Chains A and B, each alone.
Chain A
Amino acid sequence: MRDIEKIIERHAKWHKSLLRLSWAEKIRMVESAMPAIRALRRQRAEAPKAPAQSSKQS
């Protein structure tokens, strides 16, 4: 349980530290992630769509 609390605490700290970055720093961060974002979006677009699930239970 303590481990989970630590992870959440660390995660919250990381988010706060992102907020403190300047706009230029955030922009550079996103620019460096662009190839990965594009690859993920391409992958998602090319993935076969899952068939729609019926809400009725048989």
Chain B
Amino acid sequence: MKEVAELLNRMRSAGIITNYAVFGAAAQMRYTEPVATIDADVLIEVLDPDRIDVLEPVFAFCRRNDYTISGDTVLAGAWPVHFMPTFNPLTQEAVEQAETADLDGVPVRVVRADHLAAIALSVGRAKDLLRIVALLEAGSVRADELRTLAERHGLSKAWKSFEQRFLHA
């Protein structure tokens, strides 16, 4: 993961992306027990979000710097990295307000636990809902905080459904 952090910081310094934050399972581990995963998901802010091949500058940078590209992922150390441009106000806010963690001396931006849970709520697959349960159980996020965040991002219905299934069952 240190290699992932180095790649992301290099891309930001080179102006290929304006900002980034690790999310998904790799980010979840900052707040819960370790979870089995084999790839790293990264939200990125790009310079030109309207271009059709929005990730091409990212891949071009990686090709120039001898990273292996496989399908839609870039291999950094042991981690295949999925880049996902921010796509709504929630993901934009998650990147803007991400925290800087230390990974063996390398700084890396990671989404906050509440944003991670709200993104999981918006995606809504079984594994995403279990991620929210794990974050709540670990005490990394409080249900009332998450409800407020969900309401602010138009996820009230999803939150109510989650609450009924997992918290009031």
Contact = CB atoms under 8 A, between A and B. Distances in A.
Interface of A: 15, 18-19, 21, 23-24, 26-27, 29-31, 33-34, 37-38, 41
Nearest to A15: B33
Interface of B: 1, 26, 29-30, 32-38, 78-79, 101-104, 110, 138
A30 B35 contact: yes
Contact of A30 (B29, B32, B103): B29
B103 A26 contact: no
Contact of B29 (A26, A34, A38): A26
Given A26-B29, A27-B26, A34-B78, A18 B34 contact: yes
B34 A30 contact: yes
Nearest to A36: B36
A51 B32 CA distance: 36
A26 B30 CA distance: 8
A47 B49 CA distance: 41
Given A21-B34, A23-B101, A37-B38, 4 more contacts: A19-B138, A23-B103, A30-B34, A41-B38
A26 to B, nearest CB: 4
A45 to B, nearest CB: 13
Contact of A27 (B32, B38, B103): B103
A58 B157 CA distance: 41
Contact of B36 (A18, A24, A33): A33
Q: Which 5 A-B pairs have the closest CB atoms?
A: A26-B34, A23-B30, A18-B33, A26-B29, A27-B1
A38 B34 contact: no
28 contacts: A15-B33, A18-B33, A19-B32, A19-B33, A21-B34, A23-B101, A23-B103, A23-B110, A24-B1, A24-B102, A24-B103, A26-B30, A26-B33, A26-B34, A27-B1, A27-B29, A29-B34, A30-B34, A30-B35, A30-B36, A30-B37, A31-B79, A33-B36, A34-B38, A37-B36, A37-B37, A37-B38, A41-B38
